[in-house]
Amino acid sequence: MSVKSRIIVVPVFNKIENHVAWVVGNKVSKHDYRKYPSKVIHFDFSKVEPKFLKPYHITPLACLIHEYQQQGFYIKVRGCSDAMHTLLSSFNFINFCKGESAVIPLQKDKFTHPLWLIKQLENSSYIDAVTNYFQNTFLPNQDLFAVGNALGELFNNIFDHSNSKIPGYTFTKFIPERNQIILSVCDFGIGIPKKINTYLQKIGHEKLSSTDALKHATELAVSSKSQPHNAGRGLDTIRTSIKSLSGKILIVSNNAILWIKGDGSEQLVSIRENFKGTLFVIWIDTTHLPLTEELTEEISIV
Amino acid sequence: MDKTIVIKDCVAGTISNTEAVALKIELQNALVNFDVVTLDFSEVKVVTSSFLNSSLGEVVSNMGIENLKGRLNIKNCSSQLASVIAAYMTSLKNVKLQS
């Protein structure tokens, strides 16, 4: 007699709130072991067309699957059309579901640096690999400091503050027809608003709403002081750098969403579900990247 | 006497706090033994705020910004990297000397 295995249907995510609710509702902590005793989980993509599966859906999905894998589940992908299979393969998603995510992945699609399990000791070499690849292949005259800096700040944030039980996932994609680089980083830690509020309460301040705490975290020199060297510049550095390039940022953490749009305006949205973790998505218009110039002569900095 | 520290030869990376520790130690020693120290950023494309905090920030905190005036230079940076480092150093002008 075969034991019943669970099928998790990936729907069309027409709103970020719906995506968050789906992720939260399908976390391994909510798995019904009595109803589904099998250690196999099927992720069914038959209800979603590739055009509705956006790059920013991929990293939370990877974190979700990693949690199941960590608990000894085997992941199977089903219901993929050829087009969906091609899309998921471009992120190395199919192999990742087979548990092949531990190695730095090879590119299956020349425009995508696929899913990578963020590893603290390999962060610098990964960032070098990504920036060198995109520069050498597509953008030889442009300075990719903003891309490397954003990845570095976000990786540091995960290891310094998130308390995530899994290290988190990232990918970077270049879309030539839009002159756009998209990077996405996701962890399943405690979330930025919760971290900020824990610190504020520790120093005797009042707790903020999730949206206010998230906004607060992106301001200069705001820090949860969770590491001795932490001076709270990371998120502000990203915000300043990406805004100066008219780029866009989406942050989803706990019950808050922060959109920083290309025109510099910012929109905070409160959401019902608590996304325990942080999802960052950054869109950079490559035509706004500065040109690589000659290196500086010796200059004094003090 | 002057001393040049080549960043890529000194640290394993320019992203994390941990990677910055080697630079902090080498820079601090150099500032004790030399009048002027130049940080050579050849082949360094990216730094993070954590890396700066745990290298330059720590040195300023330990030695005092007043004691470093005219003694710390950078070279071979991209303009973007140079502006980030300069802005960072400006932000440290009110950092108090660690007792």
CA distances from A227 to A234, B19, B54, B71 (A): 13, 15, 11, 29
Q: Does B70 touch chain A (CB under 8 A)?
A: yes
Is pLDDT above 70 for A103? no
Is pLDDT above 60 for A106? no
**pLDDT tens digits along B69-92:** 999 999 999 888 998 899 889 888
Is pLDDT above 70 for A100? no
Share of chain A above pLDDT 70, in %: 92
Residues 6+ apart with CB under 8 A from A79: A44, A45, A46, A47
Q: Cβ contacts (< 8 Å) between A298 and chain B: which residues? A: 38, 73-75
**DSSP element (H, E) containing A97:** helix A93-97
Domain ranges in chain B are 2-91
**pLDDT tens digits along B24-68:** 999 999 999 999 999 999 999 999 999 999 999 999 999 999 899
Q: Name A251's bridge partners.
A: A258, A280
Are the beta carbons of A296 and B74 separated by less than 8 Å? yes
Structural domains of chain A sorted by starting position, each given as residue range(s) with its CATH number in brackets: 6-288 (3.30.565.10)
The Cα A52–Cα B12 span in angstroms is 41
**Regarding predicted confidence, which is higher, A283 or A132?**
A283
The Cα A78–Cα A55 span in angstroms is 19
Name the minimum distance, in Å, from the CA of A140 to any CA of chain B.
14
Q: Does B6 touch chain A (CB under 8 A)?
A: no
